[in-house]
A and B are shown apart, each in its own frame.
Chain A
Amino acid sequence: MEKVYDTVVLGGGPAGLAAAIEAKKNGAEDVLILERDRELGGILNQCIHNGFGLHTFNEQLTGPEYAERFIDQAKELDIPYELDTMVLDLEDEGDLKRIHAVNEENGYQTFDTKSVVLTMGCRERPAGAIGIPGFRPAGVFTAGTAQRFINMEGYMCGKKAVILGSGDIGLIMARRMTLEGAEVEAVCELMPYSNGLQRNIVQCLDDYDIPLKLSHTITFIHGKDRVEGVTIQEVGPDLKPIPGTEERIDCDVVLLSVGLLPENEISRNAGVEIDARTNGPVVSELRETSIPGVFAAGNVVHVHDLVDFVSEEAALAGKGAGKYIQGTLDQEPDFKTVAGPGLGYVVPQNVSLDNVDDSITFYMRVRNVLEDKVINAYIGDEKVATKRAQKFLPAEMVNFKISKKTLEKYPDGEEIRFVIEDKPVPKKKA
């Protein structure tokens, strides 16, 4: 009989590593990581800037350093992995899942496993997806592709750049290009606010006098063979370009940081239910998907802004896989979660309290910048918890922690609804 793994993890990035480690610690003995790149660590390998790990390790690490900590742990636990290996397909055969994968060394392989953790991460939205008109010359890169060329291959991809989108990769690349001697003419952001973390705006743009043009977009790419420039335009409240505000900027490279999309081809083909809001699998508190024994974590579930939260989420999935192997996972949800108006999504979508230790953290994103607002959690008509913040930003994922004890008070509750409400006006002291 063929070997049957306890857990196979699809992807050896930060999510995959944390999930594999945690699965192994929680009772999965035969764990295997399949990674398509030439080394473990995923996208962290090209993130040579620091700022990783503040939450997890309380210190500032570079991407590869952060990855290394997890790779070391995985090695200590003797978790095997295969590199340069592309997973083609995941088949759900009930108690057994079969994974089809290829690599040069071992050819076409199938792996039978009791549980699977999906940690394929996400991909960048390309130019075509946002439909910038104009030519389609060389010199239009997604920020991550440029980052790979520069940080991993050692080649520059332009001398004068305009960056569209103020997502974190775009901001990081603005600084990186500048440090490599390129001029960054502007970062244009369609929205009236940045999609990147505040600290990145300060450290990557402000410190280098790179202008951030909010409510601006690129409306034409010039240059038939290679980028020669862009036309940028201001956009109105409807996000449509305002005639008369055209400005031509000469440049030889355009970098795009216009959003990330969870990469769920394998999940979809396997029949995993996908949430249209996150573009990722619908998951439980321990990140079990709609297919029993198939778990998912990290950017494949929803796009995170800090790797620390990816690791945190992946640890839950690993733990889930371990419990599933042991037969101790409660798969009956007690609650479903609902994202109210103004909230992009809530993860997890299902909660079984039996699998929760002390508390559960709900991840969510607001669609607009919110001031003087709170997010309240309701079960039925009853307000059960409140999340306060000075400001809620679309760029910053909200972590809303609710204790198990609180939720246990509602054995008949079916839904946890998250609703944006006005911040209560503080009572004046008499």
Chain B
Amino acid sequence: MYDVAIVGAGIAGSYIARTLARYELKIVLIDGESDVGNQISMANSAIVHAGFDAPSYKLKGKFNAPGCIMYGKVCEDLDVPFKRTGSLVVAHTEEEMMKIHELYQNGLRNGVPDMRILFEDEVHEMEPNLAPDICGALYAGDAGIVSPFELVAKVAENAVDNGVELRLDTLVEDIENNDGSFTLKTNKGNIEAKVVVNAAGVYADDVYEMVGEHYFEILPRKGNYFIFDKECGDLVNNVIFPCPTKNGKGILVAPTVHGNLLIGPDASPTWKGDISTTQDKLDWIKENAHKNVPSVESCYRKIIRNYAGTRNTPVKTEWTTTDGDFIIEESPVKNFVNFAGYESPGLTSIPAAGLYVVDEIILPILEREGVEVKPNENFNPKNRKHVYFNELTEEEKRELIKENPKYGRVICRCETITEGEILDTIHRSAGATTVKGVKKRCRAGMGRCQGGFCSPRVTEILSRELDIPMDQVYYDKKGPAFILTGKTKDVPEQGE
């Protein structure tokens, strides 16, 4: 019997697991995917928002700014690439300037530090590539960019290193409420737990309805994005937002923490699990991105990938609009905690929201149920450092290869990722077991050739390290996402 079972190993579930690991509890983190952080946490804007958008009376407003402030320490401890670039919300008209002032005031209420309203000259001095008609902006120096893939992997790694059990490829199909405990029925057998935390992203309503009456639902809303070659990475220095509207924060133009450029997203209702990109939306993004940054148009030849992600927008039956809030509460079903509708600014809010749900909701439930909650004396918040070969000095590279020659074999030529780095990502806790898992953790295949060169080599390394045949190395989901369909005609089976 576990004390806590967390359903969903995205950023929310993983971070809650890691936060709970500060106590001596039996914790299991469950996900139906073959890797952590494989859905909403994987495909998004990768932005750490300063926190001036959401109203202060909402949980979004409450957790965003503190979450952003906490990011520096979290990413330092976990060794995750994070950069406080600053963000600009730009205005083209007087009317938009009014909105900028409102955002500024709201930011003050939310406790956002380092905000300034910039006048025309200052904006253009700070960002020379902005459209000439931009007449002002809200600058927030605390905003930043993060690698969301690495973040979730590192959070999960730290959780596992501190005693959390991670069960991937484990899909919760039903939950039985035994009054005092729950039985989670999965494709890999039953899991018993005293408390369940539902962090199932777009499927959170479905998971809740396994035990309780419908009281909220999740509307999946899709956003398309483009990623550009690193050659375009210095087009802007800050994250550039248009003035927000009812439909959201609008098309942003942002550098990524690894030096690429990203534009997107749109927001359109879709079905759960739909992460396909759509031509007309992609076109729409291109048509709109240049309004704030005209020269982005000249970069369209340098696009290396498009992708789409889903927002898990919550709608409670009692709400009158879809302009909702995070659902973070002990649900009407006792000992069952919903951490749902955790859409933007969820990624940013997690250090604060994760701490809140653990300290204010989960621990009190455990104590109420008579579970002794003792601090985990061995809890170590830090991860072992990841080596980014490409960022080392010549001397450091020399030393590293001397120590471990595998760092002398470059596997991904676009991003200069070595075999040493790939082996490290495979052999860490919550490590990579798929080609995409490797890509997410150390960027092999993220570059301009998109894995054309390195994917056969990565497949080979995974086959060797995990001791599985080449044709049982998967790109992503184990089983359906196969890469190879068997040997060629003239290669005899082993043993023949």
A and B, one complex? yes
Query: Considering only CB atoms, which chain A residue lies closest to B404 in the complex?
Result: A104
A102 at the interface (CB under 8 A from B): yes
B408: which of A108, A144, A241, A253 is its contact (CB, 8 Å)? A108
Task: Return the CB mask of A158-170 against B: 1 if under 8 Å, else 0.
Answer: 1100000000000
Assembled-state Cα–Cα distance A135/B306 (Å): 10
B398 at the interface (CB under 8 A from A): yes
Query: From residue A218, how far is it (CB to closest CB) to chain B in Å?
Result: 11
Question: Are B279 and A128 closer than 8 Å at their CB atoms?
Answer: no
Query: From residue B472, how far is it (CB to closest CB) to chain A in Å?
Result: 11
B109 at the interface (CB under 8 A from A): no
Task: Return the CB mask of B385-424 against A: 1 if under 8 Å, else 0.
Answer: 0000000001001100110011111100110101000000
Assembled-state Cα–Cα distance A157/B482 (Å): 9
Contact segment of A147-155, A198-206, A285-293, A369-377: A147-155
Question: Are B227 and A128 closer than 8 Å at their CB atoms?
Answer: yes
Query: From residue B345, how far is it (CB to closest CB) to chain A in Å?
Result: 25
Contact segment of B9-17, B71-79, B180-188, B270-278: B270-278
A142: which of B305, B418, B452, B470 is its contact (CB, 8 Å)? B452
Residues on the A chain within 8 Å of B226, using CB: 131
Known: A123-B449, A126-B450. A226 touches B480 (CB 8 A): yes
A26 at the interface (CB under 8 A from B): no
Query: Considering only CB atoms, which chain B residue lies closest to A158 in the complex?
Result: B485
Question: Are A108 and B401 closer than 8 Å at their CB atoms?
Answer: yes
Assembled-state Cα–Cα distance A154/B471 (Å): 11
A137 at the interface (CB under 8 A from B): yes
- Among residues 76 to 117 in chain A, which have CB atoms less than 8 Å away from a CB atom of chain B? 84, 86, 88, 100, 102-108
Query: From residue A358, how far is it (CB to closest CB) to chain B in Å?
Result: 39
Residues on the A chain within 8 Å of B474, using CB: 138
Residues on the A chain within 8 Å of B397, using CB: 102, 108
Residues on the B chain within 8 Å of A181, using CB: 489
Assembled-state Cα–Cα distance A219/B408 (Å): 41
Assembled-state Cα–Cα distance A155/B475 (Å): 15
Task: Return the CB mask of B435-460 against A: 1 if under 8 Å, else 0.
Answer: 00000000000001111110110001
Residues on the A chain within 8 Å of B303, using CB: 128-129, 131
Question: Are B279 and A103 closer than 8 Å at their CB atoms?
Answer: no
Question: Are A126 and B405 closer than 8 Å at their CB atoms?
Answer: no
Total number of B residues with any Cβ neighbor in A under 8 Å: 57
A401 at the interface (CB under 8 A from B): no
B485: which of A84, A126, A152, A157 is its contact (CB, 8 Å)? A157
Question: Are A155 and B484 closer than 8 Å at their CB atoms?
Answer: yes
Question: Are B476 and A155 closer than 8 Å at their CB atoms?
Answer: no
Question: Are A104 and B484 closer than 8 Å at their CB atoms?
Answer: no
Assembled-state Cα–Cα distance A158/B401 (Å): 38
Question: Are A127 and B450 closer than 8 Å at their CB atoms?
Answer: yes
Question: Are B276 and A225 closer than 8 Å at their CB atoms?
Answer: no
Task: Return the CB mask of A355-387 against B: 1 if under 8 Å, else 0.
Answer: 000000000000000000000000000000000
Residues on the A chain within 8 Å of B416, using CB: 86, 88
Assembled-state Cα–Cα distance A102/B397 (Å): 9
B452: which of A88, A104, A124, A224 is its contact (CB, 8 Å)? A124
Question: Are B305 and A108 closer than 8 Å at their CB atoms?
Answer: no
A145 at the interface (CB under 8 A from B): yes
B410: which of A36, A105, A154, A180 is its contact (CB, 8 Å)? A36
Assembled-state Cα–Cα distance A149/B460 (Å): 10
Query: From residue A269, how far is it (CB to closest CB) to chain B in Å?
Result: 11
B481 at the interface (CB under 8 A from A): yes
B406: which of A104, A145, A156, A220 is its contact (CB, 8 Å)? A104
A342 at the interface (CB under 8 A from B): no
Question: Are B306 and A156 closer than 8 Å at their CB atoms?
Answer: no
Query: Considering only CB atoms, which chain A residue lies closest to B474 in the complex?
Result: A138
A134 at the interface (CB under 8 A from B): yes
Question: Are A135 and B276 closer than 8 Å at their CB atoms?
Answer: yes
B210 at the interface (CB under 8 A from A): no
B304 at the interface (CB under 8 A from A): yes
Query: From residue B283, how far is it (CB to closest CB) to chain A in Å?
Result: 10
Question: Are B453 and A123 closer than 8 Å at their CB atoms?
Answer: yes
Question: Are B453 and A252 closer than 8 Å at their CB atoms?
Answer: no
B317 at the interface (CB under 8 A from A): no
- Among residues 186 to 238 in chain B, which have CB atoms less than 8 Å away from a CB atom of chain A? 226-227
Question: Are B485 and A156 closer than 8 Å at their CB atoms?
Answer: yes
Question: Are A133 and B455 closer than 8 Å at their CB atoms?
Answer: no
Residues on the B chain within 8 Å of A88, using CB: 410, 416
Known: A123-B449, A124-B452. A155 touches B487 (CB 8 A): yes
Query: Considering only CB atoms, which chain A residue lies closest to B390 in the complex?
Result: A88
Assembled-state Cα–Cα distance A126/B448 (Å): 8
Residues on the B chain within 8 Å of A136, using CB: 275, 307
Assembled-state Cα–Cα distance A157/B456 (Å): 11
Question: Are A145 and B487 closer than 8 Å at their CB atoms?
Answer: no
Residues on the B chain within 8 Å of A145, using CB: 451-453, 455-456
Residues on the B chain within 8 Å of A129, using CB: 303-304, 448, 450
Residues on the A chain within 8 Å of B452, using CB: 123-124, 126, 142, 144-145
- Among residues 250 to 297 in chain B, which have CB atoms less than 8 Å away from a CB atom of chain A? 273, 275-279, 282
Query: From residue A11, how far is it (CB to closest CB) to chain B in Å?
Result: 11
A133: which of B306, B408, B413 is its contact (CB, 8 Å)? B306
Assembled-state Cα–Cα distance A129/B275 (Å): 18
B483 at the interface (CB under 8 A from A): yes
Assembled-state Cα–Cα distance A311/B455 (Å): 29
Assembled-state Cα–Cα distance A252/B480 (Å): 11
Residues on the A chain within 8 Å of B413, using CB: 36, 86
- Among residues 246 to 292 in chain A, which have CB atoms less than 8 Å away from a CB atom of chain B? 252-253, 265
Residues on the A chain within 8 Å of B273, using CB: 224
Assembled-state Cα–Cα distance A158/B276 (Å): 21
Known: A126-B452, A252-B485. A154 touches B491 (CB 8 A): yes
Assembled-state Cα–Cα distance A128/B447 (Å): 11
Query: From residue A124, how far is it (CB to closest CB) to chain B in Å?
Result: 5
Residues on the A chain within 8 Å of B485, using CB: 155-159, 252-253
Assembled-state Cα–Cα distance A68/B406 (Å): 29
Query: Considering only CB atoms, which chain A residue lies closest to B34 in the complex?
Result: A225
Interface centre among A103, A108, A127 (most CB of B within 10 A): A108
Top-4 shortest CB links A-B: A128-B305, A138-B475, A126-B450, A225-B480
A/B interface sample: 30 pairs, CB < 8 A: A102-B407, A102-B410, A104-B405, A108-B394, A108-B397, A126-B449, A127-B450, A128-B227, A128-B303, A128-B305, A128-B450, A129-B448, A131-B226, A131-B282, A133-B277, A133-B278, A134-B277, A135-B275, A138-B475, A139-B482, A153-B456, A153-B470, A156-B486, A156-B488, A157-B484, A221-B276, A225-B480, A226-B475, A253-B485, A265-B414
Extra contacts besides A108-B408, A252-B485 (8): CB < 8 Å: A102-B401, A123-B449, A137-B475, A142-B452, A145-B455, A150-B488, A154-B491, A225-B481
- B-side residues, CB < 8 A to A, are 226-227, 273, 275-279, 282, 303-307, 394, 397-398, 401-402, 405-410, 413-414, 416, 418, 448-453, 455-456, 460, 470-471, 474-477, 479-491
